[in-house]
Structure 1
Amino acid sequence: MKKITTILLIVFAFTSYKATSQVLEKPTEGKSLVYIMRSNNLGAGLNFRVYDKDKFLGALPSGAYFIYECDPGEHLFWAASENRDFVEANLEANKTYVIDLRAKMGMFIAAVGVEPYEPTNKKHVKRIKKVLRKHINANVVNADKTEEKEDNIAKAMEAYDRIKDKENSKIKKLLSNMNFENK
């Protein structure tokens, strides 16, 4: 009887663990999937505007994430707040990637830092699990509002062109091998 109780407890613990551990979704065949999330609560009242080069994806609130499916290849993801921060991405087909928008102290309002995540970084994996467990999927992809953001996009592309070739450029890279396992 004791053996059966122990086995049942182990099975229950294992199935409970699997039920609470989240898994990243898989993209449609031939596409890439990018999770864009906010893992910290600094600047909680502020939405960060998110773009894929010249395409407005949406305004991401604190405590949320969204999933963006796109064509594989070269992308320039960036976010705007008091500042603009950029990530150059090289995405492979059928792979899933994660980008975190980290709120930082700014001069007047929260600034944004765009951080590509790596599957080998234990802190990144832990944050992803927390976000998927506790945050809401904002489903904010708003490509139809890109026209309203043309001025902001033009200024951002000018800023990107100014800094991309500098020797000490702070533009981060999301490499094709930085993909996460998915279901």
Structure 2
Amino acid sequence: MKKRVLLLLLLAQTTLLFSQTDSISEGRAAVYFTRSSGLGGLVNFTYFDGKKAIGKFNGSKYMKYECEPGKHLFWARSENKSFVEAELLGGKTYIIDVIPTLGGLKASVILTPVDKNNYKLKPIQKLLEKKDAEIFEKDELDALQLEMADVIVRGFEKYNELKEKGKNIPILLPSMTVEASDLIYVKK
């Protein structure tokens, strides 16, 4: 009897995760920004797609961002700025892991494109299992966009400076996709 209940719970959980991760609007790409570490948990990181503010949250959370396929510059801001260039395919799902690090005054941020073939997914899977995605209303994003106007200008200055100096900007490749089944934590 206990085994049946556990099996039913596992099936229900799997179905819920599949519905959260599997559905992408027609012709769009999905990018998960996952912050599975609790380091610097009180510090908000602000996320951008080019010059567009797409979210802001602290602590161990994540957001699912849908966008048009093609080239994107994703970046996050905290004490520093971290960038990822991306080439996305429609109907596909990607992950950018958000890694907080110790900064001078507050937590710094490092964005890391996830290649499921050589990245430890367990912390991300556990995060997705335990929490729902952060959701931002249009009016919240509009206010964030206004608040971040100067930050966006400085962010692009920093990005251009890094490019001019020949610094490596991580790249999220079209092949670095994940399937819904990749995002389910299975105890081994």
Question: Which category describes the TM-score, using the shorter chain as reference length?
Answer: 0.7 to 0.9
2:174 to 170, 173, 176: 176
Gaps of 5+ in 2: 182-188
Q: Which amino acid aligns with 2:51?
A: D
2:103 & 2:119 partners in 1: Cα distance?
A: 28
1:36 & 1:122 partners in 2: Cα distance?
A: 15
- SS of 1:85's equivalent? strand
TM-score (normalised: structure 1):
0.85
- SS of 2:136's equivalent? coil
2:100 & 2:119 partners in 1: Cα distance?
A: 20
Structure of higher CA gyration radius: 1
- Does 2:147 correspond to 1:148? yes
Identity %: 36
Matched positions, count: 174
Q: Hey, what does 1:158 align to over in structure 2?
A: 157
- Does 2:114 correspond to 1:117? yes
CA contact (8 A) 1:89 1:175 kept: yes
TM-score (normalised: structure 2):
0.83
Gaps of 5+ in 1: none
After TM superposition, list the pairs within 5 Å mapping 1:18-97 onto structure 2: 18-21=11-14, 22-23=17-18, 24-97=21-94
Distance of aligned partners of 1:67 and 1:153 in 2 relative to their CA distance in 1, 3 Å threshold = same
* RMSD of aligned Cα (Å): 2.1
CA contact (8 A) 1:26 1:95 kept: no
CA contact (8 A) 1:90 1:174 kept: yes
User: Which sits farther off after the overlay, 127-136 or 11-20?
Assistant: 11-20
Q: Structure 1 runs of 4+ off > 6 angstroms?
A: none
1:178 & 1:165 partners in 2: Cα distance?
A: 27
